[in-house]
Amino acid sequence: MIDWEPILDVTAAVLAARTAVLLAALAIDWLVGEPDILWRRVPHPVVLFGRAISFMDKRLNKRRGVTGKSRQVRGILAIVILVVLAAIIGWGLSFGGPVVACIVVAVLLAARSLDEHIRAVATAMGEGIAAARTAVAMIVGRDTKSMKKGDIARAAIETGAENLSDGVIAPALWFLVGGLPGLLAYKMVNTADSMIGYRNAKYRAFGCGAARIDDVMNLIPARLTALLICGSAMLNGRGTAALGSMMRDGRHHASPNAGWPEAAMAGAINVWLAGPRRYGNRIRQARRFNEGGGEADASAIRAALQVLIMAQLLFALLILPAVLL
DSSP labels, 162-213: HHHIIIIIHHHHHHHHHHHHHHHHHHHHHHHHHHH---STTTTTTTHHHHHH
The predicted pLDDT at position 65 comes to 79
- In a domain, residue 199? The reply is yes
Interval 184-228: pLDDT, tens: 999 999 999 999 998 888 999 999 999 999 999 999 999 999 999
Distance between CA atoms of residues 48 and 83, nearest Å: 13
Distance between CA atoms of residues 237 and 311, nearest Å: 15
Residues above pLDDT 90, as percent of the chain: 82
Distance between CA atoms of residues 100 and 102, nearest Å: 5
- In a domain, residue 2? The reply is no
Distance between CA atoms of residues 61 and 53, nearest Å: 11
Distance between CA atoms of residues 99 and 41, nearest Å: 22
For the chain, how big is the Rg over CA atoms in Å?
20
The predicted pLDDT at position 281 comes to 65
Interval 277-307: pLDDT, tens: 666 666 677 789 999 999 999 999 999 999 9
Cβ(301)–Cβ(118) below 8 Å: yes
- Residue-range definition of the domain harbouring residue 170: 10-324
- Cβ-in-10-Å burial (0-12, 13-18, 19+) of 26 comes to buried
For 229, residues 6+ apart whose C-beta sits below 8 A from its C-beta are 161, 164, 242, 246, 261, 264, 265, 268, 307, 308, 311
Distance between CA atoms of residues 81 and 100, nearest Å: 25
The predicted pLDDT at position 158 comes to 96
- In a domain, residue 1? The reply is no
276 or 265, which is more confident? 265
- In a domain, residue 4? The reply is no
pLDDT, mean of residues 137-151: 88
Q: What's the whole-number average pLDDT of the chain? A: 93
Cβ(126)–Cβ(298) below 8 Å: yes
Cβ(239)–Cβ(230) below 8 Å: yes
Cβ(184)–Cβ(86) below 8 Å: yes
Interval 100-133: pLDDT, tens: 999 999 999 999 999 999 999 999 999 999 999 9
pLDDT, mean of residues 152-164: 96
- In a domain, residue 196? The reply is yes
- In a domain, residue 127? The reply is yes
Interval 37-63: pLDDT, tens: 778 888 999 999 999 999 999 999 988
What is each CA distance from 50 to 158, 220, 244, 288, in whole angstroms? 24, 25, 38, 33
The predicted pLDDT at position 162 comes to 96
Max CA distance (Å), the chain: 70
Q: Is the dihedral of CA 149, 307, 312, 250 positive or negative?
A: negative
pLDDT at 81 exceeding the cut of 80: yes
- In a domain, residue 15? The reply is yes
The number of domains in the chain is 1
Q: Contacts by 74-78 with C-beta closer than 8 Å and gap 24+? A: 74/206, 75/196, 75/205, 75/206, 75/207, 75/208, 75/209, 75/210, 76/209, 78/53, 78/206, 78/209, 78/210
- In a domain, residue 158? The reply is yes
pLDDT, mean of residues 239-258: 95
Confidence of residue 159 (pLDDT cuts 50, 70, 90): very high
Q: Are strands 288-289 and 273-274 parallel, antiparallel or unpaired?
A: antiparallel
Q: Which one-letter DSSP state was computed for residue 254?
A: S
